Structures are given as structure tokens and as C-alpha cells.
Amino acid sequence: MRLYLIRHGVTDWNNEKRLQGKSDIPLNAFGELLAKETGEALRDIPFDLAYTSPLIRARRTAELVIGKRSVPILDDPRIEEIGLGIYEGLICKGEGSEIRDPNFFSFFPCSGIVPAAGRGESPLKNCYKGQDRF
């Protein structure tokens, strides 16, 4: 079995350096173009099926990559992005960062026991399959 992992195309929030998490932000025109180009580059790959997050940016990327091929696209919430709670929509990089919590960025590496990000999900749920410790 061969697996191909494809990240969703670009959204306006990507360009603005905003945290998306579970916010259902659509692809922008450039994101759609990139997804179509990815589909063209993979046109000779005989996909049997595609799994996608139920978020519109991921679903649309899968649709554009698959194109006119008759391939089932299955939504699976287990691969949806992690919820970032109150931080979703905030700019997280550069001088314009809107995140003032000094512990926030320790949330991403999953290198230890880290509290959930402002009413969001704990990274442990995704990184360690719900276990409390390594």
C-alpha cells in the first residue's frame, strides 16, 4: 500500500499568519490553483480513495486533486486540525502577533504535558492518543 499525504491549499488566513485550527476557512484562489496543479502532477497516480478532514479547505483540496477521476472522498474527523480555542483567528507570527501568552508556543511541539490552548484541545489528544503521559 502506498499513501500520499497532501496538505490543504492556501487560505487567506495562511497569508495573514492567523491560526486556523477548526475554524472552517475556505481556500483562496491561489489555494485552489495549487490544489489543481497538485492534481495535475499526480494525474497518473491510480488513487483508490481519498480521506480528508471535514473542514472545507481540506475537502476542497481533495476534490481538486482528485479532479474528474471516479475516486471516493471520505470525510474523517480524526484527521481534522486541532482546536485552538480562543486563539483561532489570531495572528501568531512576526511583529503583529496577537498572542500574549508566553506559554502558548510550547503547545505545538508535543514535547511534554502542555495545557490546552485557551479552551482548545490538548495536543496530547492528537500526539499521544489521549494518554496522560508518555
Question: Taking a C-beta distance cutoff of 8 angstroms, is the pair 71, 42 a contact?
Answer: no
Contact 62, 92 (CB under 8 A): no
CB 102 within 8 A of CB 84: no
Residue 8 appears among annotated catalytic residues: yes
Single-letter residue type at 36: K
Instruction: Identify residue 81 by its one-letter amino acid code.
Output: E
Cβ proximity of 48 and 37 under 8 Å: no
> Is 82 in contact with 119 (CB distance < 8 Å)?
no
Concerning whether 32 is annotated as a catalytic residue, the answer is: no
Q: Catalytic one among 16, 32, 63, 81? A: 81
Show which residues are catalytic: 8, 81
